Amino acid sequence: MTIVDTPERRQLRELTRAFVTREVLPHLADWERAGEVPRALHATAAKLGLLGVGFPESVGGSGGDLLDSIVVTEEIIRSGGSSGLVAALFTHGIALPHIVAAAGGRTGGTLGGRLAARRSAADDPLVNRYVRPTLAGELIGALAITEPDAGSDVAAIRTTARRDGDHYLVNGSKTYVTSGVRADFVTTAVCGDFPGSGSLHLLVIDKGTPGFTVGRKLDKLGWHCSDTAELSFVDVRVPVGNRIGEEDTGFLAIMQGFAAERLSLATQAYATAQRCVELSTRWCRDRSTFGRPLASRQLVRHRLAEMHTRAEAARAYVHQVAARVAAGEPVVTEVAMAKNVAVAACDQVVDAALQLHGGFGYLRDAEVERHYRDARILGIGGGTTEIMNEIIAKGLGL
């Protein structure tokens, strides 16, 4: 199985490419310096239908599925955007799916069952308050799971939510929250009355709620146009109605969400590699040393051939695994493998690309320099390479 290049997906690629060319490329350097993308970009992407790709029309989305989302992500980067831009503009891709799924937005089963699920999602209060406005570009959402002492070990979360009548009292802190500065609401992972209780929920917490503080904006090696923040919760009163799904279902919801997040990061990795191959090929054809184009030298040609092979092989495997996920197959091990394969290819290719660009590649004016910095997070976010290897090892029965 793979991603079929249908006429609709070709049109989606063309739409995405035009969006990047017109709305992103003239401003990306400024956004990198500013440390964030403007809210107006969300509204523009929403009007074009790009924000809603992969979300059902019943909740305000544009339709399509995981595979269509991958097409958009891939084309943004290959058109000259960046993985940092993807992180900033499409943070709702990790903030909203839990709400949609809990509201009945998943499809499957009989036709009647799918229609009932869509009606349920369409009428859900959280969908109407958060999902629709976000997909319309009016709100920005974020996902807060990681804490100073709990990253990939979700069971170690210490932010508590104690029931107090019709509210929860939330206390704790979160870190490394993508779009945490700009977000209007945060889908937040909390445990029950005390850490280690085994109880885990997801709550939607609005910015501006008393006791909810957005801390310092974190400076990072890469993803400069994607704002990242620390969050603090001190006796924050959150209505019970802002809980996503039933109590104690948070852990499963987070685990299910990891597949799409990891495939998105894998897509960003192989697409970054592909873009760097394209940039390097162009550079080596145009750049001359000692009276000859770089591309005329066998060493350079072979280096470019190796880079292209790694990028294309990673793309093919990620597409294969994504198609299986979209078909409903339980391929947790394969998702971890796809992420690691793509990240490894990206690491090798961006390093070689910067080397081929020589001194120019080390300058901030070089696009390849930005990709070199941005690529480093891809083996960390959504579960580190080491965590992926542990998942793979378990899949092997070790």
Supply the residues annotated as catalytic.
261
What are the DSSP E strand ranges found in 31-104? none
CA 351 remoteness from chain centre: 23
* CA-based nearest residue to 55, from 110, 107, 1: 107
Residue 308 CA to residue 303 CA, distance in Å, equals: 9
CA 63, 67, 71, 74 torsion-angle sign: positive
The 8 Å CB, 24+ separation contacts for 369-372 are 370/32, 370/82, 370/84, 370/222, 370/224, 371/82, 371/83, 371/272, 371/275, 371/276
- In sequence order, which residues have a C-beta less than 8 Å from that of residue 337 and are 6 or more positions away? 317, 321, 388, 392
Strand partners, 238: 168
* CA-based nearest residue to 19, from 58, 53, 47: 47
Strands 185-191, 200-206: pairing kind: antiparallel
DSSP state letters, 144-188 = E--BTTBSS-GGG---EEEEETTEEEEEEEEEEEETTTT-SEEEE
Which two three-digit tokens encode residue 100? 């949609």
Label residue 245 exposed, middle or buried (CB < 10 Å: 0-12, 13-18, 19+).
middle
Place of tokens 């991603």: 3
Strand partners, 144: 188
Three-state DSSP at 106 gives: coil
Where is 371: in which H helix or E strand?
Answer: helix 367-374
